[in-house]
Structure 1
Amino acid sequence: MEHQHHNASSPKPHLDVGVDTTIYGADGPHHAHSIYGGDHEHDGDFLTELENNRLQRGLHQRHIQMIAIAGAIGTGLFLGLGSSIQTGGPLGALLGYATVGLIVCAVQFALGEVAALLPVTGSFVRHAEFLVDPALGFAIGWNIVYGNLLSVPAEISAICVLFQYWTDINSALFICIFILITFLVGISFVGIYGEVEFWFAVLKILLVIFLIIFGLVVDLGGVPGVDRIGFRYWKNPGPFVEHIATGRWGEFLGYWSVMTSAVFSFAGVESLAMAAAETHNPRRNIPKACKKVFARVLIFYVLAVLIVGMIVSSADPRLGEYTGNAAMSPFVIVASSAGIRAIPSIVNAVVITSAWSSSNQALLSGTRVLYGLAIKRQAPAIFLRTTSWGVPYVCVCFNTCFMFLAFMSLSSSAMTVFYWLVDLTAAGVLVSWSCILFNHTRLCAAMRKQGISRRELPFYNSWTQYSSPAALVMCQVILWTGGFSVFTKGGWDAATFVSAYLDIPLVTAAFLLWKFVIKKTKVVDLSTLPIRAALDQVAANPEPPEEELGKNRWRFARFLWD
């Protein structure tokens, strides 16, 4: 057992005995209580004996860093940048992604600080119960579960479209294949999932680096038969594009539209702490991953947006053609114009791995949040059953049943219904980021009220107590204005309205239902939060010192993840 694991004999200052929960492993039923204990409001918010003994720590630092990178670098980067350039112009798109990148920075550091103190399964969902209100954890948790139940079949459907770029084989075959292999990865030891995501992320990073260099070569006239472009497209048609309105206001709306779409491109960076109880030395590795993932993702996106804005004109009509495969990538558009035939297939292949990687990540996130909800008795206890190698197999099987919704994409009418269901949680990214930032803001407020220095946290930064509230305001502004185009004259679109706003009443209804009808919960009193007890447990259970990387022949490549 790892040094950072807590055992039932650990001291429990200020806390009563935790919740007695029947759990099921491969060898039958057991009883578990919170390792740290807890009163009524906090049962199971600290690492529980169930997580400590039933889940296996199979994820290392390189795994969780790459899980977040793999989730953030996907179709939004490879295929979606063209529409951002078309909407906001090269400078508008660059500013939009840079702005959201700063918000992601605040989210990552806020998550790192709270997760280092409370490295539990379900991450910020459980943090919300502990720091805000159990009803908030219930609402956010089931919103994430629902979103991920539909994300997996949606990604599998996208894979079918990508394969159609090469072949006319019936999509049902690819649906069956990817349902099977996604299930096998999900039911396997979590370390296998970590390795799969690690190598997929390496492929994505290498492709991004290649495309950035390729774009720079094209821009500088390094491809025979292609003139030097430079910043030609920044001058004509210009750095900004008018969107909906005209003049400066129209240019601002173009920038704002890019920012709302950029949020969904960065989606996934928050998932790296979902399996904190299955991560080696989480108090050190999760904050470390949060810091480094932010830098890598922001650099990749900003450089990619800059290069795309240089090599493709915002007035190019091909940017507005939606095909769902590599043909809509701005890099492919440029490569096709330059007569380079290999790049479209390379991009399409890596985007397929991106889509499957996203489905794996959605399965992990959905199952671990569902498992965390079951710990809190906010989901049926059957979801607590685990395999002998520490995987919540009932959660995995439950999620797998919904993968078969991907077959709805074979019918045009059924596909319309399916994507309406998917659209219901499209704003879930901003809801999740808001939750992370609010959790951190509450933690800072509680520590001030109790006279506890933030320097005592396992991981802290002096500026995060200011960046979290500011980023929270920005998230809320983007959330409530994300569908502004539907309120303009002649701009009404039902699908856009649903994807932009209907997640808000869904989460609100779940919160009110649990708070006032089912459990009648109360907002947690900041003065009674057992922060001192959690800090004492951190001190009583130190993690082993970080191992030296050592000098070996692979050290030169470690810049990718370390």
Structure 2
Amino acid sequence: MEEEKNDKHYPDVDVVSRVSSDPTSARVDQTHRKLKGRHIQLIGIGGTIGTALFVQIGSALTKGGPGSLFLAFTIWSTFILAINNCLSEMVIWIPIASPFVRFADRFVDPALGFCAGINFFVFEAMLIPFEVVAFNLVLQFWTDKIPVAAVITIVLVCYALLNLFAVGWYGESEFWLAIGKVVLAVGLMAFTFITMIGGNPLRDTYGFRSWDSSKVPGAPFAEHIKTGSLGRFLGFLTCLIQASFTIAGPDYVAMTSGEAEMPRRTLPRAFNSVFYRLTTFFVLGSLCVGIVVPYSDPDLLKALSEARPGAGSSPYVIAMARMQIPVLPHIVNALVLTAIFSAGNSYVYCASRTCFGLALQGKMPQIFARCRAMVCPYIVLALPLPSLFWVSNNAAVVLQWFVNLVTASQLLNYAIISFTYLKFYYALQAQGIPREHLPHRSFWQPFCGYYAFIGTFIMAFVGGWTVFLPGNWDVPTFLFSYASLGAAPLLFIFWKVFRRTTWQRAEDMTFFEKEREQVDLYEDAYVAERHPPSGIFARIGDFIFA
């Protein structure tokens, strides 16, 4: 009876058994496809919008000015859009678990797949303790009486409940948490517009005063470290580095492909919406930050130097205090709290799915491929336990070293994705497979592949540029900025030598035929059973994000 129940409610389970029963088939995904279109849309937003957009962005503003900040975020959005184009075309045709890790394995070299998988896994896993501790710091905006260990334990238990039992729980939780991020982002944009035209207690119609060089010396392009044109360029470069670590999204959408309900229907909409999210949240968001407060505002500079907890260092909160608005800072801090929790939740999900994908490829012990028991989340959730030692200042410093150690990993991951797409693109040509036969074709290819690869590869080496300035050399900063870039080729060489892997030739490349057959059978079974959304909120969400 239990098996019949599974067949009824999880048609993909039956599909997996039919496909995997073929003795010639490779190991196929065993994940339940329970993420609906509305889940994926909001997971993409949840993985995209973080505290960096609301709080840390103020640091870049003080160094580059509003003009450099807006220009940097606009330019970097075009690189993320190019990465989105590369990912969407591959993932929609081959919607499997841990897609870009396994694509690098199949389309380039298994050694690159190993390198990409370990890089992304470590990057996501090491950010979990960072977000857990950030959650505690945001709480200190109101009180510091709650024991740190208690806060960390509660957050980890919540992550465990949301990730260990069913992907549907994760999807629903991330859906509502991401809505909180959208409300915060849209609310702050509305706050900017209303107050800049005089809708504030002071009746101050400040408009674009922060951009006016006659009222704010140096605006809109501030000088950083040096003076003149070089100083303004360095200010812009600092803002571009901030943008490169703030803006994300396509990789989080791609990670849901192995558990997406009707992936070839829901994923195109999720990938296509990335453009609107980039424009709305990041480009307009960076513009708003440069409007509400001058880059040289003394209160902002003081808040950053004192590292005020929670939203205390946010340019928006600084502006609210200046305009004598007493309640909004608390609302902003509460929503930032949910944003941090959502970010950590996303990192647990992505890290565990990457671990699962590596196990499917034989790059991690096979026990991690046991999907029903979901062993991977246990491993991932064990990694933040050292954050309990943040009660000690020394442990806090050590943990921050690990966070800094992987800051270039995201850019390295994007470079690998772009390079993998170029191999995929030319393999289609070599084997005479028209792109018109793909279920989704992205635009401006292969230009987007080259554009994204060059941009992300160069920026990966730019992050620690300040150590090369005269008198600024610092060994720890150099190591923390570039150690991950040094580790990547070592991982590649290790797997290349250890497994004697072969660089994939375009003429011989295969395109996950068994996995695509699995998806075809699943979608046919799903359409035949027709699963309507249950519950009024689910119906409303499906209608809005369909």
* TM-score normalised by the chain length of structure 1: 0.87
CA-to-aligned-CA distance 1:302-358 (integer Å, 9 cap, x gap): 111112211210111333413241100111000011111111111111111111111
Q: How far did residue 143 of structure 1 move?
A: 1.6
Partner Cα separation in structure 2 for residue 364 and residue 558 of structure 1: 22
8 A contact 2:249–2:274 mirrored in 1: no
Task: Using the TM superposition, give the Cα deviation of residue 408 of structure 1 relative to its aligned residue in structure 2, in angstroms.
Answer: 2.2
Of 491, 501, 505 in structure 2, the residue corresponding to residue 521 of structure 1 is 501
Residues 539 and 135 of structure 1: CA distance in aligned 2, closer, same or farther (over 3 Å): closer
Q: For each residue in 1:196-233, what CA deviation from the matched residue of structure 2 results, as whole angstroms up to 9, or x when unmatched?
A: 10011111111111111111112112112142112222
Amino acid at match of 1:147: F
C-alpha contact 2:115 2:491 (8 A) present in aligned 1: yes
Amino acid of the structure 2 residue aligned with 1:413: N
1:164 aligns with 2:140: yes
Name which of 15, 20, 34 aligns with 1:58. 34
Contact 1:445–1:526 (8 Å) recurs in 2: yes
The aligned counterpart of 2:362 is: 377
Query: Do the aligned partners of 2:80 and 2:248 also contact (CA within 8 Å) in 1?
Result: no
Q: Distance in 2 between matches of 1:467 and 1:343?
A: 41
Q: What is aligned with 2:177? A: 200
Identity over the aligned pairs, expressed in percent?
32
Q: Does 1:360 align with 2:345?
A: yes
d(CA) in 1 for partners of 2:537, 2:393: 53
**Which residue in the other structure is 1:17 paired with?**
none
Residue deviations 1:256-297 (CA, integer Å, cap 9, x gap): 211111121113441222132211111232222111033223
Match of 1:184 in 2: 161
CA contact (8 A) 1:242 1:250 kept: yes
1:332 maps to 317
When normalised by structure 2's length, the TM-score is 0.89
Q: In the alignment, which residue of structure 2 is the partner of 1:102?
A: 78
Name the residue aligned to 1:20. none
Q: Which amino acid aligns with 2:334?
A: A
* Count of residue correspondences: 522
State how far apart, in whole Å, the 1-side matches of 2:522 and 2:314 are: 48
* CA deviation profile, 1:131-183 (whole Å, cap 9, x unmatched): 11111111111122222222111111111111111112221111111111111
Q: 1:96 to 1:105 in 2, by over 3 A?
A: same
Q: 2:424 aligns with which of 443, 449, 458?
A: 443
Tell me, yes or no, if the aligned pair for 1:109 and 1:287 is still in contact at 8 Å. Answer: no
Equivalent residues of 1:69, 1:297 under 8 A apart:
no
Shift in Å at residue 185 of structure 1? 0.8
Q: Rate the CA distance shift 1:267–1:309 in 2: closer, same or farther, 3 A.
A: same
Question: Larger helix proportion, structure 1 or 2?
Answer: 2
For residues 319 and 406 of structure 1, what CA distance do their matches in structure 2 show? 29
Q: Distance in 2 between matches of 1:5 and 1:464?
A: 37
Whether the 8 Å contact between 2:202 and 2:323 is mirrored in structure 1 is yes
- RMSD between aligned residues: 2.6
Q: Which residue of 1 aligns with 2:5?
A: none
Deviation of the 1:188 alpha carbon: 2.1
1:187: how far off? 0.6
1:519 maps to a residue whose letter is R
SS at match of 2:384: helix
Q: Using a 3 Å threshold, how does the CA distance of structure 1 residues 398 and 557 change in structure 2: closer, same or farther? A: closer
Return closer, same or farther for 1:36/1:232 CA change in 2, 3 Å cut-off.
Answer: farther
Structure-2 separation of matches of 1:285 and 1:270: 15
What's 2:48 paired with? 72
User: Residue 561 of structure 1 aligns to which amino acid in structure 2?
Assistant: F
Secondary structure at the counterpart of residue 464 of structure 1: coil
C-alpha separation in 2, matches of 1:535 and 1:181 = 33
Q: Which amino acid aligns with 1:215?
A: T
- State which of 198, 206, 221 in structure 2 corresponds to 1:240: 221
Question: What SS class does the counterpart of residue 143 from structure 1 fall into?
Answer: helix
Structure-2 separation of matches of 1:536 and 1:122 = 14
